[in-house]
Structure 1
Amino acid sequence: MSLPALDDGTPAQAVVDLDAISDNVRALRGHAPSSDLMAVVKADGYGHGMLPVARAALAGGARWLGVATAAEALALRAGLGATDARLLVWLLTPGAPFADLLRADVDVTAGAPWALDEIAVGARAAGQVARVHLKVDTGLSRGGVAMRDLPDVVRRAAALEASGELRVVGVFSHLACADEPGHPSIARQAAAFADALDAVASAGLRPEVRHLANSAATLTLPGLHHDVVRTGISVYGFSPGPLLGAPSDHGLRPAMTLRARLAGVKQVDAGEGVSYGHLYTTSQDTRLGLVPVGYGDGVPRQASGGSAGPGGPFAVGSGADRRVLRVAGRVCMDQLVLDLGPGARERAGDVVTLFGASDGVAHGAEVPNAQDWAEAVGTISYEIVTRLGARVPRTYLSRGVVEP
């Protein structure tokens, strides 16, 4: 991907390659050729932009789109307009706007005993039959109907289906440790899901789709693919965890590049403390570069570098002069500092890259990716891209052309 020039005066920019999103979806469909694919676009498309990502995912062959909240579902339906794709929302609370969701042709989740009756009320208000997915807790101990409550829930669902308020079109659950190959919980959850499907069938319910596989299971556990695979982080080009290798091992490439323009470069002496608290002290006469992004833009404050360890990685320079440097000192709300070195030739206005579309320096790339940042601060790539702040503009590319 050839990146567009940063506009004059733009301190930072996130470039999202929509072709990478589409290609990632195609690659994931190749991993699960007998299943439909749901692209998860919650949290503003993991920070990439919900609507552009959704359109790119559909272009790549996704048949379903998944979001967490009612507001996301309604915004997504309004933004997409008419489409053959099914939309599913799963994180709902009592009082959720079920009637509005049903009028918008959104599939809704019943993940607790209270939900079925509220969905039925919404269906009567909307004047239509609700499409419901039962979510079962098979061992994550988070959302979903507990296995001990499932017999009562499926009986109630069957009664409401018989009276015409709803139809159970899906059954699903979520895996706890699919990104840890061989973890014993995987087999336990698969068995529990099979029991849940038996309970649903025993109640006379005949769902259209079953879905259990997340990104990790889509890539590594074909026996759990069922009718639909729900892919989140892999849509955006990341391996679901370091134990599963690099993105390119699975035919994926990160879609987002985050860049910033140096706001200033200055010479300092050896022994100078840098940024708040002087966590970092220059070891020699050197040149410091000021980068105008900080935790107000989503850069983790834990990416500070100094006595406690190296900071977050940046790619600086180009060609033979390219090098990976670490944050020097404390990450501030709006800015951070790089120690460019005594012979640095960078100047104010030059572009540096926080992370880009690569396998990352951990796998030999010259440019870090979000997984490198995650490892630097003790988190996951999901958080790095999702936390990117609203004041960082997103620029979208498709076929090498900037999207309007």
Structure 2
Amino acid sequence: MTNLLSDPPVSAEPTRRHGPRLCVDLAAVAANTRLFAARTDGALMAVVKADGFGHGAVDVARTALGHGASWLGVTSLEEAFALRGAGLRAPVLSWLNPVDADFTGAITAAVDVAVPSREHLAAVLSGGIGARVHLQLDTGMARDGAAPSAWADLCRAARRAERAGQLQVVGVMGHLGCADDPSDPDNRVGRARFAWGVAVAREAGLRPPLRHLAATSATLTDPLSHHTMSRVGAGLVGIDPSRSTVLSPAMTLTAPVVGVRRVRAGTPVGYGHTWTAPRATTLALLPLGYADGLPRAAGPRAEVLLRGRRRRLVGRVSMDQVVVDVGDDDATIGETATVFGPGRSGEPTVAEWAAWADTIEHEIVTGIGARVVRT
């Protein structure tokens, strides 16, 4: 009888090294950072939330700090603490936390925090003396940030705490909801609301040295929104939602061919038999699927680059695998297909995959699963 409590099985890691691979081009991150730093006279915050938009938060942060960024931005305090744990000592702002977050730890780790409500202000004050806060105003998204009706009260309460020596208000922040379309009139409304918010803060006696409203798109297209700092995340890794600027995509996803077969006309492929071979053809199998971040909705339109040519995915995207129609060309087990990349060699881009899935590039790059080896 097999002893189920005996020696553990051999690690599968050596095999995994030869599976799907995600390569991050930090030179592209560096070039993008320099471009953004040149577009604004204010400071540049490198936003590395969601593991640096799927590109590796620590590596993207270090690269950005070496090429023009002076601040780091994340959503949760856990993300901020991870940066500190990696030895990064640049100023860090965390702006999306529940009221029971570790604000004491934030003070200890010298992490700035956003304050969008009186409840959050009270929670920060309960964490100890010496917090650095950025008051956060809703400038038109009805999302994070204090509602305009609550803003003056928040500013006055923060000023009382500041005068008592309990905290320091170092920033006022907002966010534009339509900056990807520079012509949208809501951008003007958002800028006006932010200017009003800064004026109200000053009337309350606050003098925050930092004012930041612009993210990637506004940094590229709307100088009026720049103020003293801009927050750029997607742009660092080559995504421009405004489609106004040529950036350098930083992510390439590849996968090996693990199976090849020749099939007759009429052969059904995959779950539900949604695709049937219209002619005799060669099919190649790649070992990645929606569990690895390939959007299932992209299946009927998606392509990969194999042997120098675009090849269409056929059948449904499965959890762990996809099938590629190679036609009458040869395919060999072990050769590499490029799922997406910068597009310089004819491979599909992240933007194309986003279009095929009817989504945005951000969702594609942040969705690549943990099974895919990072380089």
TM-score w.r.t. the length of structure 1 is 0.87
Q: Which residue of 2 aligns with 1:362?
A: none
Q: Which residue of 2 aligns with 1:299?
A: 294
Question: 1:7 offset after TM fit, Å?
Answer: 8.8
2:100 paired with 1:108: no
Q: Which residue of 2 aligns with 1:47?
A: 54
Matches within 5 A, 1:143-158: 143-158=144-159
Q: Which residue of 1 aligns with 2:263?
A: 268
Pick the aligned partner of 1:13 from 18, 21, 37: 21
Q: Which residue of 1 aligns with 2:100?
A: 95
Pick the aligned partner of 2:360 from 356, 361, 380: 380
CA contact (8 A) 2:94 2:113 kept: yes
Could you tell which deviates more after superposition, 149-158 or 349-358? 349-358
Could you tell which deviates more after superposition, 109-118 or 134-143? 109-118
Question: 1:324 offset after TM fit, Å?
Answer: 1.5
Percentage of identical aligned residues: 43
Matched position secondary structure for 1:145: coil
Once the two structures are superposed, residues 106-147 of structure 1 have per-residue CA deviations (whole angstroms, 9 ceiling, x without a partner) of 0011012211111111123xxxx1110011001011000000
Pick the aligned partner of 2:281 from 281, 286, 300: 286
Pick the aligned partner of 2:306 from 290, 311, 316: 316
Long gaps (5+) in structure 2: 1-13
2:203 paired with 1:202: yes
Equivalent-residue separation in structure 2 for 1:194 and 1:326 (angstroms) = 50
Q: CA RMSD in A?
A: 1.5
Question: 1:80 offset after TM fit, Å?
Answer: 2.4
2:156 paired with 1:170: no
Matches within 5 A, 1:393-404: 393-395=373-375
Equivalent-residue separation in structure 2 for 1:181 and 1:55 (angstroms) = 30
Equivalent-residue separation in structure 1 for 2:94 and 2:120 (angstroms) = 13
Equivalent-residue separation in structure 2 for 1:44 and 1:9 (angstroms) = 21
TM-score w.r.t. the length of structure 2 is 0.94
Equivalent-residue separation in structure 2 for 1:229 and 1:188 (angstroms) = 18
CA contact (8 A) 1:313 1:372 kept: no
Pick the aligned partner of 1:258 from 250, 253, 269: 253
Question: 1:330 offset after TM fit, Å?
Answer: 0.5
Once the two structures are superposed, residues 15-73 of structure 1 have per-residue CA deviations (whole angstroms, 9 ceiling, x without a partner) of 111111111100111111x1111111011111111111111111112101100111111
Matched position secondary structure for 2:134: strand
2:332 paired with 1:347: yes
Q: Which residue of 1 aligns with 2:342?
A: 357
CA contact (8 A) 2:19 2:373 kept: no
> Size of the alignment, in residue pairs?
362
Q: Which residue of 1 aligns with 2:7?
A: none
Equivalent-residue separation in structure 2 for 1:37 and 1:256 (angstroms) = 22
Equivalent-residue separation in structure 2 for 1:367 and 1:132 (angstroms) = 45
Matched position secondary structure for 1:93: coil
Once the two structures are superposed, residues 68-92 of structure 1 have per-residue CA deviations (whole angstroms, 9 ceiling, x without a partner) of 11111111111124x3x21000001
CA contact (8 A) 2:249 2:342 kept: yes
Q: Which residue of 1 aligns with 2:234?
A: 233
Matched position secondary structure for 1:327: strand
Question: 1:380 offset after TM fit, Å?
Answer: 0.4
Equivalent-residue separation in structure 2 for 1:120 and 1:301 (angstroms) = 46
Question: 1:180 offset after TM fit, Å?
Answer: 1.3
2:337 paired with 1:331: no
Equivalent-residue separation in structure 2 for 1:41 and 1:13 (angstroms) = 21
Equivalent-residue separation in structure 1 for 2:332 and 2:126 (angstroms) = 63
Long gaps (5+) in structure 1: 1-5, 360-364, 396-404
Q: Which amino acid aligns with 2:257?
A: L
Q: Which amino acid aligns with 1:60?
A: H
CA contact (8 A) 1:94 1:118 kept: yes
**Using a 3 Å threshold, how does the CA distance of structure 1 residues 8 and 93 change in structure 2: closer, same or farther?**
closer
Q: Which amino acid aligns with 2:86?
A: G
Equivalent-residue separation in structure 1 for 2:309 and 2:77 (angstroms) = 44
Equivalent-residue separation in structure 1 for 2:279 and 2:291 (angstroms) = 30
2:38 paired with 1:30: yes
Matched position secondary structure for 1:171: strand
**Using a 3 Å threshold, how does the CA distance of structure 1 residues 116 and 9 change in structure 2: closer, same or farther?**
closer
Matched position secondary structure for 1:389: coil
Equivalent-residue separation in structure 2 for 1:8 and 1:106 (angstroms) = 37
Equivalent-residue separation in structure 2 for 1:133 and 1:9 (angstroms) = 43
Q: Which residue of 2 aligns with 1:56?
A: 63
Matched position secondary structure for 2:332: coil
Once the two structures are superposed, residues 186-229 of structure 1 have per-residue CA deviations (whole angstroms, 9 ceiling, x without a partner) of 00000000100000000010001100001000111111111111
Equivalent-residue separation in structure 2 for 1:31 and 1:156 (angstroms) = 36
CA contact (8 A) 2:44 2:230 kept: yes
Matched position secondary structure for 1:188: helix
**Using a 3 Å threshold, how does the CA distance of structure 1 residues 8 and 173 change in structure 2: closer, same or farther?**
closer
Q: Which residue of 1 aligns with 2:76?
A: 69
Equivalent-residue separation in structure 2 for 1:59 and 1:368 (angstroms) = 30
